[in-house]
């Protein structure tokens, strides 16, 4: 029996997350991910995934300081970023920059190196924008938590709590999500006993693929089409009849409401700055779900996290070219946690492929 894409195949055990696609539940290390996103910081949830417990006061202070310690961009990395072709996208830049990081522990993946790789991403993005002449490279700040610092470096906007709360919710909810394509890439690389930076490079390369990390950008295109349409229902129906995929609807795992989308929707409802795009997103969601049920009955296609992620980032004035980079900036925590888990009880991945080509007559 061949399982294309390894769909439904269980190949490892994990303590990091559990996805209940039938009930629409997501658990991080024994905690409801939605509750974590509403009541805890990015640093706290990162600590949970890396260590298996939420931090106490002194542990939280320690990890917050560690994040700040590793924010500076070394000169050699600035030179790399400056000399990369201008045509390369931001995921290409992240992939190449992360691969160049000198780790403190190249043999064994550590939390210290995981923090370093996570903490440096905002500066990589900001310096790339600077090198392209898009934005001035901001001053590295030590007074902000990680998500506020990310927002500041990516946009140049002084972060306000009402803005960064929505972004922090998104970045916590996308921090970890089981054995998805990029996480699997990271674990496969780690299983060969390669180093943490190489595993993160594999994961970023996989994240670049439009079937995995590119969905929020597609949602913006859908919202833009809706904003210029006199009849959203007809627009959606025409797209579906042409065989186009409605980006932001449906999920390979969730067969009911995506709990991450519901949490982001709730956060947007609390954000007065999100009125225009949020109202459009709500209207489009209702019409699209009705149309999907008419044309694809019984498929249970609902909005996924990318749908409301796009609305959040549009409301926060984060450029659409940075959507997948923002996804990467959060998911690197889950990737690195998986790498450490893989190496703690390692077996190299080596599945089989069934040969279907010609065989010599003398064989």
- Nearest Cα to Cα of residue 301 among 241, 213, 240: 240
Q: How far apart are CA 242 and CA 95, in angstroms?
A: 35
Q: How far apart are CA 278 and CA 266, in angstroms?
A: 11
The beta-strand segments (E) located in the chain are 17-20, 25-28, 31-32
Given 168, 285, 306, 341, the catalytic residue: 306
Indicate if 107 belongs to the active site: no
Element (H, E) at 81: helix 75-83
Indicate if 306 belongs to the active site: yes
Contact status, residue 188 vs residue 11, Cβ threshold 8 Å: no
Given 130, 251, 338, 341, the catalytic residue: 251
Contact status, residue 288 vs residue 250, Cβ threshold 8 Å: no
Q: How far apart are CA 40 and CA 59, in angstroms?
A: 14
Measured in degrees and rounded to the nearest 5, phi and psi for residue 61 equal -60, -40
- Nearest Cα to Cα of residue 119 among 185, 69, 180, 176: 69
235-239: Cβ within 8 A, 24+ apart: 236/284, 236/287, 236/288, 236/291, 237/291, 237/295
Contact status, residue 27 vs residue 33, Cβ threshold 8 Å: yes
The beta-strand segments (E) located in 278-337 are none
CA dist 50 to 16, 20, 316, 332, 350, Å? 9, 22, 29, 11, 26
Which residues does the annotation mark as catalytic?
A: 251, 306
């Amino acid at each position: 029996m061949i399982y294309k894409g390894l769909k439904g195949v269980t190949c490892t055990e994990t303590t990091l997350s559990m996805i209940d696609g039938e009930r629409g539940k997501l658990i991080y290390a024994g905690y409801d991910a939605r509750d974590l996103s509403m009541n805890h910081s990015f640093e706290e949830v990162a600590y949970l995934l890396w260590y298996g417990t939420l931090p106490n006061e002194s542990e939280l202070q320690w990890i917050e300081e560690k994040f700040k310690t590793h924010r500076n961009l070394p000169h050699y990395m600035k030179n790399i970023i400056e000399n990369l072709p201008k045509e390369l996208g931001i995921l290409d830049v992240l992939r190449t920059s992360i691969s160049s990081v000198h780790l403190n522990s190249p043999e064994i993946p550590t939390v210290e190196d995981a923090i370093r790789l996570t903490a440096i991403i905002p500066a990589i993005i900001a310096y790339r924008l600077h090198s392209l002449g898009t934005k001035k490279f901001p001053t590295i700040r030590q007074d902000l938590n990680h998500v506020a610092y990310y927002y500041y470096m990516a946009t140049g906007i002084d972060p306000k709590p009402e803005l960064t709360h929505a972004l922090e919710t998104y970045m916590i909810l996308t921090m970890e999500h089981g054995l998805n394509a990029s996480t699997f890439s990271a674990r496969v690389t780690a299983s060969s006993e390669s180093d943490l930076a190489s595993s993160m490079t594999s994961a970023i390369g996989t994240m670049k693929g439009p079937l995995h990390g590119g969905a929020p950008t597609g949602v913006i295109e859908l919202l833009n089409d809706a904003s210029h349409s006199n009849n959203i229902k007809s627009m959606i129906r025409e797209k579906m009849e042409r065989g186009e995929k409605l980006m932001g609807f449906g999920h390979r795992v969730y067969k009911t409401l995506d709990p991450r989308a519901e949490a982001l929707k709730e956060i947007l409802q609390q954000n007065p700055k999100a009125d225009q795009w949020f109202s459009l997103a709500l209207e489009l969601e209702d019409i699209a779900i009705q149309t999907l049920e008419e044309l694809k009955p019984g498929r249970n296609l609902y909005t996924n996290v990318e749908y409301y992620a796009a609305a959040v980032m549009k409301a926060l004035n984060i450029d659409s070219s940075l959507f997948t980079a923002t996804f990467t900036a959060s998911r690197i925590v889950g990737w690195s946690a998986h790498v450490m888990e893989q190496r703690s009880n390692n077996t190299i991945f080596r599945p089989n492929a069934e040969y279907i080509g010609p065989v010599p007559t003398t064989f």
